[in-house]
Amino acid sequence: MESVAVRYLLSTTGHGALAPRAHLATDAARLCLNGTWRFRLSPVADLPEDFAEDGYDDSGWDEIAVPSHWPLARRDDAWGNPIYTNVRYPIPVDPPYVPTENPTGDHRLVFDLPEGWPGGDAVLRFDGVDSCGRIWLNGVELGVTAGSRLPSEYAVGQLLREGHNVLAVRVHQWSAGTYVEDQDMWWLPGIFRDVTLLARPVGGLGDVRVEAGYDHRTGLGRLRVDTAAGAVLTCAELGLERVPADGFYEFEVAPWTAETPRLYRVEVATGAERAVVAVGFRSVAIEDGLIKVNGRAVLFRGVNRHEFDPDHGRVVGEELMRADLVLMKQHNINAVRTSHYPPHPRFLELCDELGFWVIDECDLETHGFQENGWRRNPTGDPAWREALVGRAERMVARDRNHPSVIMWSLGNEAGVGENLGHMAAAIRALDSSRPLHYEGDRSCRYTDVYSRMYASHAEVEAIGRGEEEALDDPALDARRRAMPFIQCEYGHAMGNGPGGLAEYQALFERYERLQGGFIWEWIDHGIRSRTADGREFYAYGGDFGEELHDGNFICDGLVFPDRTPSPGLLEYKKVIEPIRLRDAGSGAFTVENRYDFAELSELVLRWAYEVEGVEQAGGELPCPGLAAGKSESVALPALDLPVLPGEAWWTVRAVLAADTAWASAGHEVAWGQWPAGVPGGGSASAAGQPVGARGTADAPALVQGVIEGLPVDTTGPGEGTAEGWAAARQARFDERGRLVEFAGIGLVAPRVDLWRAPTDNDAHALAAKWRWAGLHRVHERTVSVERDERALTVQTRVAPAAVDFGLHVTYRWSEAGGVLRLDLAVSADGVWNVPLPRLGLRLALPGGYDRVEWFGLGPGEAYPDTRLAARVGRYRSTVDAMQTQYVFPQENGSRLDVRWAELTDASGRGLRIEGDPVFQLTARRWTSEQLDAARHQTDLIPSEHIWLNVDLAQHGIGSNSCGPGVLPQHELHAGDHTFALRFTPLH
């Protein structure tokens, strides 16, 4: 016979909790029970209940912080470890049963009521227990929680006593709820959100429901508050002074939007209790096939946000929540999907305050059933109806007062089934004011918005045109065709990337039906860990010895685990910038306001005029106070400057004029850059000035001397110029014509290189092809080494073992205008059926040449399809600082469109490389092979060299770790390619 302990784990609903209600801050007494509790971990669930008794002696137990996840509360394995699986369940799929081995954490807290505690009714609130908790107060069982990310309240007034109170909570890692909580994240049990005791005064508020609509035609806000009988409302700003709460009020208001998050603090009071509710007046509707807020279509520049802290898992404090939102605001993000569960309640208050559009998602995912043909999927099983409907109702009851929440989502990846319909009906019954979202049912049977994840650009475009593939059911098809479209997930931000964001944004802006999307995802869920010798790294799936895991798929965010913005976030910021600044010709530029509501009133425009990356003039212009959607042309200042050689560029930046809640004055919101004509006199091409133009006389001295490995000066300058002679004598080649020394610096000779350590986006499909083709192990066969009076010409064939295709390469070294010039010509030999990771030269310098200055795109990394955030300038960095530390090591750090770069040592000696016209530069202390072999950042051990890749090009990045690959225009293929470089010594 099964014991009680085992049976309640099979309950899909839990029991004992009170009806759900809003999360309110009132003036009634409350006691936060977070803190240090007693803790004991057992390997199974079926245990005696004596620990709940009053007199139980827990002095032999450990202590634990509440809130916490026990596997992270102690990091010595004693309390188990996190488990990461994406889709697959870490337990047998046998619903509602769970394994006998079921880590169970008994938590105990003895607390005193504070002085003046009012007595009478009280509730004990648990904001989140993963996956279920059985609760006792003073020896009496209160019930069992279900729904890890949903609150449960229990009536405890009659149980509280003046002296010691004993709260006992038995938390199980696995329960029936596990089957509907299969989100792609760490499995982390524990009491991970707040525990609070709330006095419930007689005649108190109970629940408060606020409806605050806005009519954009009249400018009137409408307020209705549903709460305890006899309650009154007060809000001086709205002219309300203790008016009956059950009235219906209208006033002229400033509406709430994510761009203008205007809140009114409305006091709701009975004689016994008072709450202040932040009210935002706004309406959401689907009209004309569009999601409209306050009558206007909105464009989501969103992210999917999981709750995550690298040390504490899903225990996130207010500071971290605010930090996330501030960082999002600073990066032009205006929308959050709370993937895939209702967030900590404070998070939504902060969204109201700072201004975000929020899709609030229910705590439901059953993705692992897909692995089993969706058999017994709870979404379609009547036995789960009550549980799933209950989850939906609890979310809505808790969160419906938030103006930021503009859509409800039924859950994520839970297949199809009637329970979705029951959830939808229950949500509409509680709140008909918001559209419903759910991506997993493509027919949109129960929803109001057509949503997809990772649809390709082509599919998104087809949807934009209304030309998507038809559903089998014509009625459903017609219904869906009339719906607005969002990508609830796109741009998979795993490792280096995502690429192709600009092309998505262009579609979103072109077709009104496409109302934007939400990048997957905000943060890498790497867990801060240490190697045996104490070096810090971020752990991912498999690092804890899990028997099933999905590796580093857990690290796919726009910010690293410590919330350092990744290059992907910087790219996204630029792609979605709400102000466009563009060259308008004739000494003017256009300012375009791409906000949906906000005027450009809080900005100034800072301009700079630079030649070769050096500022010649700069200043400030007022920003035209444009209404949303409008543009205007602004004249650039007329400059009277001497004409300087080099490339001249205008840069205009829109920055905050004053401090806001999320950034200080001077914060850059958007920028534009374009080549200048006169003054400056430089080239107006983004590709820069051809460097070969500076000198033409090739020096035979160079060729003759070096090929024999002799110093050039033994043969004299010959026909070369004095400068040429000087440059030439510094270059030494070996008998195969390889440059082994330059400017007294010993080199690992430049050779053609095709390999890059695959990115996460390459890894999905491309890397296997590349490895099959052997691009990580090419050999170079010297075909000929010839010198004539003008040049040293080396011909080679570069190819991997086992295949019959390769590249013909010609290196032509010559002296030109005092520098050493290389012309490289590459052509394909045979049939290539894989793209190239990169095409260029690899060489190495001694490790001391680690200071880098360049003129080109920067300051950060850029690739063909992730280059928007990089701008033309002159930058200074170090090799170490040029690395992007993706949690899983991979190709990173490339600087694009480099006109020239200088690598120097501490004394300023070194090497200058110029492109003809540009090259792509990567510098690191390890080779691509070492980077490829590394699994964590701590595997990367600096070598004695600086390895340089000087590339003609690299293949794009794409988003194929989950989504489309590289767009054709960003692919790199073997074919006829030429490029030229010039090398100059620096003394």
CA distance 531 to 768: 30
3-state secondary structure (DSSP) of residue 306:
coil
In this complex, which beta carbon is closest to ligand GAL, that of residue 550 or of residue 602? Answer: 550
Among 413, 468, 596, 753, binds ligand GAL (CB under 6 A): 413
Distances (CA, A) of 495 to 252, 385, 939: 48, 39, 17
CA distance 886 to 526: 10
Residue 184 as a binder of ligand GAL (CB under 6 A): the answer is yes
Helices of type H across 331-381: 345-354
Cβ–Cβ contacts within 10 Å for residue 75, how many?
A: 14
In this complex, which beta carbon is closest to ligand GAL, that of residue 354 or of residue 444? Answer: 444
In this complex, which beta carbon is closest to ligand GAL, that of residue 489 or of residue 905? Answer: 489
Which residue of the chain is nearest ligand GAL when measured via CB?
184
Pairing of strands 35-44, 101-112: antiparallel
Q: What is the DSSP string of 519-571?
A: ES-SB--PEEEE-TTS-EEEE-TTTT--SS--GGGG---SB-TT-PBPHHHHH
Cis peptide before 859 (omega within 30 of 0): yes
Among 81, 85, 86, 377, binds ligand GAL (CB under 6 A): 86
111 backbone dihedrals φ, ψ, rounded to 5°:
-135, 150
Q: Lay out the site mask for ligand GAL across 485-514 (x = CB under 6 A, - = otherwise).
A: ----x--x----------------------
938 backbone dihedrals φ, ψ, rounded to 5°:
-70, -10
Least separation in angstroms between CB 440 and ligand GAL: 9
CA distance 491 to 962: 8
Residues 221-260 that bind ligand GAL (CB under 6 A): none
Asked if 838 contacts 751 with a C-beta cutoff of 8 angstroms, the reply is no
Residue 338 as a binder of ligand GAL (CB under 6 A): the answer is no
Tokens of 110: 């003895």
Residue 412 as a binder of ligand GAL (CB under 6 A): the answer is yes
Least separation in angstroms between CB 520 and ligand GAL: 5
3-state secondary structure (DSSP) of residue 5:
helix
* 353 in active site: no
In this complex, which beta carbon is closest to ligand GAL, that of residue 414 or of residue 775? Answer: 414
Residues 921-980 that bind ligand GAL (CB under 6 A): 962
Kindly state the DSSP code that residue 822 receives in the 8-state scheme.
Answer: E
Residue 555 as a binder of ligand GAL (CB under 6 A): the answer is no
Counting residues that bind ligand GAL (by CB under 6 A) gives 12
Which listed residue (413, 521, 612, 914) is catalytic?
Answer: 413
Least separation in angstroms between CB 122 and ligand GAL: 38
Which residues does 725 contact at the CB level (< 8 Å), separation at least 6? 699, 701, 712, 713, 716, 717, 718
Least separation in angstroms between CB 365 and ligand GAL: 7
In this complex, which beta carbon is closest to ligand GAL, that of residue 453 or of residue 460? Answer: 453
Cβ–Cβ contacts within 10 Å for residue 635, how many?
A: 11
In this complex, which beta carbon is closest to ligand GAL, that of residue 86 or of residue 487? Answer: 86
Least separation in angstroms between CB 340 and ligand GAL: 6
* 489 in active site: yes
Residue 556 as a binder of ligand GAL (CB under 6 A): the answer is yes
3-state secondary structure 514-531: EEEEEECCCECCCEEEEC
In this complex, which beta carbon is closest to ligand GAL, that of residue 525 or of residue 573? Answer: 525
Residue 307 as a binder of ligand GAL (CB under 6 A): the answer is no
Residue 303 as a binder of ligand GAL (CB under 6 A): the answer is no
Cβ–Cβ contacts within 10 Å for residue 669, how many?
A: 21
In this complex, which beta carbon is closest to ligand GAL, that of residue 204 or of residue 411? Answer: 411
Least separation in angstroms between CB 333 and ligand GAL: 18
Residues 428-467 that bind ligand GAL (CB under 6 A): 453
Which listed residue (489, 612, 891, 914) is catalytic?
Answer: 489
- β-sheet bridge partners, residue 336: 303, 358
CA distance 509 to 515: 8
Least separation in angstroms between CB 83 and ligand GAL: 15
Least separation in angstroms between CB 411 and ligand GAL: 10
Least separation in angstroms between CB 939 and ligand GAL: 24
Contacts to ligand GAL by CB under 6 A: 86, 184, 340, 412-413, 453, 489, 492, 520, 553, 556, 962
The residues carrying an active-site annotation are 413, 489
